[in-house]
Amino acid sequence: LDQYLSRIRERQHLNAFIEVFSEEAASRANVIQEKILAGTAGKLAGLIIGLKDNICFKDHRVAAASRMLDGFVSVYSATVVERLLQEDAIIIGRLNCDEFAMGASNETSFFGPVLNAADTSRVPGGSSGGSAVAVQAGLCQAALGTDTGGSVRQPAAFCGVVGLKPSYGRVSRNGIIAYASSFDQVGPLTHSVEDAALILEVIAGADPADSTSSAREVPAYSSLLEFKGKAKIAYLKEAFESPGLDEGVRSCMESQISRLRELGHTAEACDFPYLDFVVPAYYILTMAEASSNLARYDGVHYGYRSPSAENLESTYKKSRTEGFGEEVKRRIMLGTFVLSAGYYDAYYSKAQKVRRLIRDALFSLLENYDFILLPTAPTPAFGLGEKTDDPIVMYLADIFTVQASLAGLPAISIPAGAHPDGLPVGLQLIGRKFGEQDLLAFANSNF
């Protein structure tokens, strides 16, 4: 713990942490050390883990990296936090992220951008950028992030670590600050697949506080990490032919595909005719859900209240105007627009139909194949400020991560070698619904 705390101090310029719980972590470490000596310690005894700043931890601040919640103290812990603590993990602090998890570069945070430790002129990815950098730079052993459309996987890829998005419903969302409720899932960022399996095993499972959590039994993922037999893998032709795909990323993927073939697995190019529609469908639906979820920040119930508010109307208007950043406001407005009476059918219901088509196409591919392989992101980490002027360009960074989210499928990003310019590249595998066990075992046995 002391080593991690001193490294956090040394690498403060990366801006990965919003707050470090030094004293609390130290006293907890002492208690856990006693438990280890007594032989009564839990599965995660002594694991030093950080929490993305949209995961509630009782009596600690949580702000979703927004001015709107700056200073807010959580009155209860998320189910995932309770489960980590029950198994004796040590929570070391709050990790920076995009405001309300909206972004792909960690540049929308009220607390400033996070820097990629591989090259500090570049972004770490987002929205769980602080979580990825904290693991990458050795500031903690593992971190929790949330993934709505790629926010665990894409920063994991940009920072050269492992990132897992579980199936929708595998992990409770109770105590997670909601962005788009039909997409949000908590996932681990770790150095190894083994660590990801162990953490998932602890945080997954039914929770009476989240009716969308599945009652399916949770396998002992961490002791089932050997993949026996040969896999049949589909890679999406349209993705590999996409003009936005960086050449260096493409060649990393191609050499991984040949390596998997040499190991005896089958890899085949398959059609996925919906690639152009995944980003529009994802953004229409998530903005709609976000506009509804964020309606609670009204300057009255909790969070920021404008000091110049005079009456109820101006309390709402001024608090929301001053409390939310640009990107969040853009999404609330677009989300309200697509849900409005005159446009609901043209946008929101249309996007729901497209979501169903995408889901059906992926489910039918997974009837014939064990996994779908894609690059996690079309490019390696891009420069700070490079995409902030054009939201559409930023949204296209999610083109390979949102399909698993639209379909509720589990997906993992694994380090897949270096780009010619030295940056980490991530390879993504999508598995069958609730197929985390096979996905983790395959990733562990083959990478």
Residues annotated as catalytic are 52, 127, 151
Member of 101, 178, 234, 409 binding ligand GLN (CB under 6 A): 101
CA neighbor of 21 nearest in space, from 65, 54, 60, 78: 60
Beta carbons of 298 and 316 less than 8 angstroms apart: yes
Task: Report the distance separating Cα 115 and Cα 391, nearest Å.
Answer: 20
Residues in the chain: 447
3-state secondary structure of 180: coil
Task: Report the distance separating Cα 427 and Cα 423, nearest Å.
Answer: 13
Minimum CB separation of residue 128 from ligand GLN in Å reads 7
Q: Which stretch binds ligand GLN (CB under 6 A): 97-105, 114-122, 209-217, 412-420?
A: 97-105
Using rule CB under 6 A, residue 185 touches ligand GLN = no
Using rule CB under 6 A, residue 15 touches ligand GLN = no
Using rule CB under 6 A, residue 104 touches ligand GLN = yes
Member of 63, 102, 334, 358 binding ligand GLN (CB under 6 A): 102
Type of residue at 46: G
Member of 57, 111, 179, 272 binding ligand GLN (CB under 6 A): 179
Minimum CB separation of residue 332 from ligand GLN in Å reads 13
Number of chain positions touching ligand GLN (CB under 6 A): 13
Task: Report the distance separating Cα 287 and Cα 388, nearest Å.
Answer: 18
Minimum CB separation of residue 91 from ligand GLN in Å reads 21
6, containing H or E segment = helix 2-10
C-alpha neighbours within 13 Å on the C-beta side of residue 388? 16
Q: Please identify, using beta-carbon distances, which residue of 149 and 375 lies nearer to ligand GLN.
A: 149
Task: Report the distance separating Cα 375 and Cα 110, nearest Å.
Answer: 30
Minimum CB separation of residue 377 from ligand GLN in Å reads 10
Residues 127-156 interacting with ligand GLN (rule: CB under 6 A): 127, 147-151
Task: Report the distance separating Cα 395 and Cα 386, nearest Å.
Answer: 13
CA neighbor of 290 nearest in space, from 262, 330, 341: 330
Minimum CB separation of residue 147 from ligand GLN in Å reads 5
Site string for ligand GLN, 272-291 (x = CB under 6 A): --------------x-----
3-state secondary structure of 345: helix
Q: Which stretch binds ligand GLN (CB under 6 A): 13-21, 102-110, 131-139, 271-279?
A: 102-110
Give contact residues for ligand GLN (rule: CB under 6 A).
101-104, 127, 147-151, 179, 286, 398
